[in-house]
């Protein structure tokens, strides 16, 4: 798979996805590294099949033809290709996590997507991003733009 991403340090490497998945399982569910690796080896092939089919592994949507995909923030190298919607959602994760305080904010949960939960619900993500834009207006667009330029966010969050 010679897929390059907009912000990736190198072309996509399946081992980067497996490593991120394993780490996420350890953080989300606890347990030992061996069982986390075993789970990763069972689940990551499904995500690789989505990438091979030209689909976003995070939400399952088709990657836009001719457009360079975003690099997922699940790895430092950002080589895992995701669609623009997921790239924008990942850019807002930290911001949104500080804003969720009760049931009225549950719609924003659609922006959150640990890799061990991939693929996430595409429609819930679309709804969550629209709601974040409605609630926080221009700040959301600034955060997305700054994140995509790898500019430190500082006091904007």
Query: Are 50 and 91 found together in one domain?
Result: no
Query: Are 63 and 92 found together in one domain?
Result: no
- Point out the domain boundary residue: 82, 100, 132: 82
Contact 61, 122 (CB under 8 A): yes
Provide the domain limits for residue 39: 14-82
State the Cα–Cα distance between residues 131 and 23, nearest whole angstrom: 30
Confidence band (pLDDT; 50, 70, 90) for 138?
A: confident
Full-model pTM: 0.82
Q: What is the pLDDT of residues 68-112, one digit of tens each?
A: 898 998 888 899 999 999 999 998 888 888 888 889 989 999 888
Q: What's the domain count of the chain?
A: 2
DSSP 100-114: --SGGGGGGGGG---
Torsional sign, CA 47, 51, 54, 57 = positive
- Point out the domain boundary residue: 82, 116, 134: 82
């Amino acid at each position: 798979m010679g897929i390059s991403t907009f912000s990736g340090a190198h072309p996509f490497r399946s081992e980067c996805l497996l490593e991120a998945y394993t780490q996420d399982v350890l953080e989300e569910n606890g347990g030992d590294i061996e069982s986390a690796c075993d789970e990763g080896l069972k689940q990551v092939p499904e995500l690789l099949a989505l990438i091979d089919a030209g689909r976003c592994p995070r939400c399952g949507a088709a990657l836009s033809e001719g457009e360079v995909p975003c690099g997922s923030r699940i790895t430092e190298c950002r080589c895992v290709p995701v669609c623009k919607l997921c790239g924008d959602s990942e850019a807002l994760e930290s911001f949104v996590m500080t804003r969720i305080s009760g049931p009225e904010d549950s719609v924003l949960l659609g922006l959150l997507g640990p890799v061990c939960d991939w693929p996430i619900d595409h429609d819930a993500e679309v709804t969550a991003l629209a709601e974040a834009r409605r609630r926080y207006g221009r700040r959301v667009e600034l955060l997305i733009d700054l994140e995509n330029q790898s500019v430190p966010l500082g006091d904007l969050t």
